[in-house]
Amino acid sequence: MKILIIGSGGREHALALACTKSQNVDQIFCIPGNAGTECIAKNINIDISEFDKIRKFVQENEVETVIVGPEQPLVDGIVDYLNQFNIKVFGPNQKASQLEGSKIFTKNLCKKYNIPTANFGIFKNIRESKKFIENCKFPIVIKADGLASGKGVYICKEKKEAEIACEEIFNGKFGKAENILIEEFLDGEEMSFFIISDGETFYHFGTAQDHKRVYEGDKGKNTGGMGAYSPSRLENKKLNKKIIEKIINPTLKGLNDLNTRFIGFLYAGLMIINDEPFLIEYNVRMGDPECQTIIPKLKTDFIELINACVNKKLKSIELEWHKDKSLCIVLCSIGYPDVYKKNIEIKNLDKINLENNEYIFHAGTKKINNKIVSNGGRVLNIVIRSENFKKNRDKAINLINKINWDNGFFRKDIGYKVIN
């Protein structure tokens, strides 16, 4: 069977590796992939926004199942488009993808179905927003409505900051803004909670904790994620039950009432306050780097699982996991998340011997003349699985020290809440 994975990050390399371990996979394609996926799959150079070219590729190459990694094509409707041609796709349709594509869609759903979330208001212009801010208790959180690659969120400690945030959003920093979301600041501990769904049945698909800030001690700017570990230290049966009853079930009912279903991975970004879950945001895909920590723990055949989802047979599958712990450190280009250099060679990657349960997933890398060079802000993901988080982190740092690349930096404190 032939599989196509759309995307080019560490998440997609981890998904591709999982496919190689499946019994029934003969060939994996990645659009566009990276230097890591090139070693286990065939990279195809098509822009992921060109749905017609992707469709032609799928038809000509008799791809059986398409797995979509990133949010943009999902929000843009790639699933609806490919489904029209009877192509099976693992990922949610455009209607369901609004859960990530529009923060206001999700907030309104929370309100209608009583899903616990931060109190909020939606405002249509700078004047209304500023008037509301006049009487707010700080800090408050201000968000642009649409996709903003994790950048459209401002945590404001005082009035002036809040006013600047409103001006930047309405002046189009994250695209045309018709609305703005202002919400209460939730003070707790974050947790990423995942499910996998075929539209009828869903299973819990693990938890993780990522470190979004660029510097140690969770300081500095937000990034796509500097590292992660799984499971979250907060996870327990009682909390899982509350999350499913108070957040996941009413969300799926809400989609059902809109005459749609969710197929794919759903990622709930939660704030846990005194053992109670609050929804911060939804993502309609696996997290990156959370995926790189969760997928290596999966024992069940990955493609059997994905195919069960696209054929509405998830009920027939038993999910099995390795019970140990995993941790990922992201090696980034100096300067990320701002300006950084590209095309810097990463030497002797091929000389690094990985033991069982050690992985190097590529993100922003490409191959030029048989050399691997950096091609993005987040470049490599070093993942270790064992019975102990500290051992994982020590081993990951050890591996990073063997990589000969003089343009990299990483956080040495990933997992500090579960290690110290």
The kind and range of the H/E element at 238 are helix 237-243
Our finding on whether 288 is near ligand GLY (CB under 6 A) is yes
CA-CA distance, 63 to 49, in Å (whole number)? 19
Stretch that binds ligand GLY, among 113-121, 160-168, 286-294, 351-359 (CB under 6 A): 286-294
Residue reference for tokens 């047979």: 313
Our finding on whether 38 is near ligand AMP (CB under 6 A) is no
Among 113, 185, 215, 416, binds ligand AMP (CB under 6 A): 185
CA-CA distance, 136 to 339, in Å (whole number)? 35
CA-CA distance, 70 to 267, in Å (whole number)? 12
Q: Tell me the Ramachandran region of residue 170: left when phi exceeds 0, alpha when psi lies from -120 to 50, beta otherwise.
A: alpha
Minimum Å distance from CB 287 to ligand GLY?
Answer: 4
Closest alpha carbon to 86 in 60, 55, 57: 55
What phi, psi does 413 have (nearest 5°)?
A: -110, 20
Peptide bond into 250 cis (omega under 30): no
Residue reference for tokens 């590529």: 362
Partner interacting with residue 220 (select from ligand GLY, ligand AMP, none; CB below 5-8 Å by kind): none
Q: In the window 210-269, what residues touch ligand GLY (CB under 6 A)?
A: 210, 225
Our finding on whether 287 is near ligand GLY (CB under 6 A) is yes
Minimum Å distance from CB 139 to ligand GLY?
Answer: 21
x/- mask, ligand GLY, residues 154-193, rule CB under 6 A, reads ----------------------------------------
Q: In this structure, are residues 89 and 151 in contact, taking their beta carbons and an 8 Å threshold? A: no
Among 6, 35, 118, 226, binds ligand AMP (CB under 6 A): 118
Among 290, 301, 358, 413, binds ligand GLY (CB under 6 A): 290
Among 32, 130, 269, 388, binds ligand AMP (CB under 6 A): 269
Stretch that binds ligand AMP, among 42-50, 150-158, 370-378, 379-387 (CB under 6 A): 150-158
Contacts of 282 (CB under 8 A, 6+ apart): 99, 100, 106, 251, 266, 267, 268, 269
Minimum Å distance from CB 210 to ligand AMP?
Answer: 8
Amino acid in the structure at residue 73 = P
Query: What are the beta bridge partners of residue 203?
Result: 196
Partner interacting with residue 290 (select from ligand GLY, ligand AMP, none; CB below 5-8 Å by kind): ligand GLY
Binding residues for ligand AMP, per CB under 6 A? 118, 141, 150, 153, 155, 183, 185-186, 190, 212, 269, 280-281
**Which residues contact ligand GLY (rule: CB under 6 A)?**
210, 225, 283, 287-288, 290
